[in-house]
Structure 1
Amino acid sequence: MIQLDQLTEHLNRIEPNDWNKLFGLIPEIEATETFGEVRGGDTLPDGSIAMPYWSSAKIVDKFLHAVNDLDVVPVYNWTSWKEGKSLLDDNSTDYNTLPIETLCKLLTIIIRADRFSDGYLVGMFANGKMLKIIKAIKGNRDQYLLLREQR
């Protein structure tokens, strides 16, 4: 994982074709109806109940592989970043107005929070916020490349 203080430089070094690992998933995300399902909860022969858990759709796994390959999920104290939680909780957040570093920090919150709250990541796909964040990252990168070409 990339350190937060190295994120901007790292993002600017990622080649446009490499970004397609993430941006190429957009049509599949848009076409996906179910991003995961709860499994488990079965009664075992001894009468105990197996803990239920979320099983994510393949597109969620593809997303995780893409962001890991790109190394765009920065390490920082995400549990203390109140603004990030507010941005994710507010349904009116316009992710297109946020800098790419902020968007990547939001990815950290979502991915890390899923480890403590199983199904959080699936829920962010299901409610459309993950798609909005990915599209905002793409828009940010497209704008960056356009400005770079004009120089």
Structure 2
Amino acid sequence: MTSEQLDRILVFSPIFEQPSNSLYEVRPEVSVIDPYVYAPEVDQFIQTLYQEDFLSPFDWIAWSSEADTYVENPSRIKGVDLETLKKLFTCHVRTERFRSGHLAQMIENGHIGAMLKRLAVIRSEMEEISPD
């Protein structure tokens, strides 16, 4: 991953610092199966993750129990590497496809914001190693 790719993802960090209720709505009249309607910024964020090849092709279902340990113990996020962050984002985006509202829950509990904060630290460490 390049620093430019990470920068394009990190542009979205402030969005996940605002109150989460502005990032999605639950509208059962739209769909009983998938009642979560995300703000355009959330959709753009997910699209950017795809565009920057941040979502990893791997067996995310088999790894989902590992991902759960990061949700259950948020302090673990502070020590993860870039590959683990990619796996976590992949798990959450893919899980949303099968479990409507999963991303809303991850936004609500601060997990997405915490992952972006860790990504910012990793990005700053890249800067220290090889300044642009």
TM-score (structure 1 length as normaliser): 0.75
> RMSD in angstroms over aligned alpha carbons?
1.9
Q: Does 1:133 align with 2:129?
A: no
**Partner letter of residue 108 of structure 1?**
T
In structure 2, the partner of 1:47 is none
Instruction: Give the secondary structure class of the aligned counterpart of 1:93.
Output: helix
Match of 1:59 in 2: 41
Unaligned ranges ≥5, structure 2: none
Number of aligned positions between the proteins: 128
Q: Could you tell me which residue of structure 2 aligns to residue 19 of structure 1?
A: 6
CA shift for structure 1 position 32: 4.2
Aligned match of 2:127: 145
CA apart distance, 1:79: 1.0
Q: Which residue pairs with 2:79 in the alignment?
A: 97
Shift in Å, 1:20: 2.4
TM-score (norm 2): 0.85
Partner of 1:40: 28
Tell me if the contact between 1:23 and 1:134 (Cα under 8 Å) persists in the aligned partners.
yes
Q: Which ranges of structure 1 fall in alignment gaps of 5 or more residues?
A: 1-10, 43-49
Which residue does 2:17 correspond to in 1?
30
Letter in 2 for 1:126: E
31-40 vs 114-123, which moves further: 31-40
Paired residues for 1:78-89 under 5 Å: 78-81=60-63, 82-88=65-71
Q: Distance in 2 between matches of 1:113 and 1:147?
A: 34
Q: State the structure with more CA Rg.
A: 1
Q: Determine the C-alpha separation between the residues in 2 that align with 1:17 and 1:93.
A: 27
Q: Which amino acid aligns with 1:36?
A: Y
